[in-house]
Amino acid sequence: MKAPGFTGGTIDRADRVRHDPALLREAEVDPRARLLVLHGLDPELDQADRLVWTALDAATTERLFLGFDDGAPLFAAAPPPGQPLPGGRSPALFAMLDRFRAGDAALYAAARSLVDWHSRHGFCAVCGIATAIFRAGWARQCPNCHAEHFPRVDPVVIMLAERGDKVLLGRQPPWPAGRYSALAGFLEVGESIEEAVRREIFEEAGVRVGAVRYVASQPWPFPSSLMIACIGAAEGEAITIDTHELEDARWFTRDEVRLALAGDPAATFGAPPPYAIAHTLLTAWIEGR
């Protein structure tokens, strides 16, 4: 089974440096230190499809420590205070998603989510005062009430309902014509992964699910989700679509899924792209995992 996109990171995140200003200073003055080139939240790739880096002194804002790559300290520049960055995925980034090397994709995902979090969380959620970066960029602290705030991760379940040799997929209106994919939704407070899988499938497609098995996970940096991929055993095949969530939902056979994953012209639907964990999930289902 192919690993999901944005996974496979190899850097040393070096938590020790986040807690020790002297170690952080050593990293900043290291001649091997590099700064990730970002245009807003978009990276730049060179001719070999590798992330582009520059000298650390190119940063005009505070620097966020990412970790070490073979001993070289890596940083990203914090966003300018009071200037929110545009969210979403630009056309330029969409064009890069299939080109990323695995390790670079994971590193970019971490950097993008961290920079984006600082852009959107400049004020204390407790008292409303402007906060300051600390712990090498992995937290913000309020100078008034001393509350500490940390980058958040939003868990999302993404899942297939299976019944015999068929699997349930849905589509949303913004997707490319003919594309179908796994259903997905955010976990709610006080809810387990299994409960969220059952709830989301029933809410979106009206299908009851029993046993749930975990398959894989994927960081999804748009802006900071953790996709938790599962497969649930459907108790029936009748579909009732929530039109607020889906445009359509259908059962597809294993042969239909196999053709779609292969990009075969005879396929009855378009599969999600390889960097999406939905592609990994369908591959796992085909392989009987």
Is 3 a member of any domain? Answer: no
Tell me the backbone φ, ψ of residue 256, rounded to 5 degrees: -65, -40
Is 183 a member of any domain? Answer: yes
* CATH number of 41's domain: 3.90.79.20
* Strand 225-234 to 154-163 pairing: parallel
Is 6 a member of any domain? Answer: no
Is 5 a member of any domain? Answer: no
Number of domains in the chain: 2
- For the chain, list residues with pLDDT below 50: none
Q: What is the pTM of this model?
A: 0.94
pLDDT at 86: 81
What order do you get walking across the sheet with 148-149 strand by strand? 132-134, 139-141, 148-149
pLDDT at 253: 98
Q: At what angle do helices 277-286 and 254-261 cross, to 10 degrees?
A: 130
Is 10 a member of any domain? Answer: no
Q: Are 74 and 67 in contact (CB under 8 A)?
A: yes
Cα distances (Å, whole numbers) of residue 67 to 35, 70, 148 = 11, 10, 21
Is 222 a member of any domain? Answer: yes
Is 88 a member of any domain? Answer: yes
* CATH number of 241's domain: 3.90.79.10
Tens-digit pLDDT profile for residues 55-98:
999 999 999 999 999 999 999 999 998 877 887 788 889 889 99
pLDDT at 3: 84
pLDDT at 200: 98
Same domain, 197 and 91: no
Same domain, 161 and 131: no
Domain boundary residue, one of 103, 121, 149: 149
pLDDT at 215: 97
Strand partners of residue 198:
none
Domain of 73, in residue numbers: 15-149
Domain boundary residue, one of 115, 149, 183: 149
Same domain, 202 and 95: no
pLDDT at 288: 86
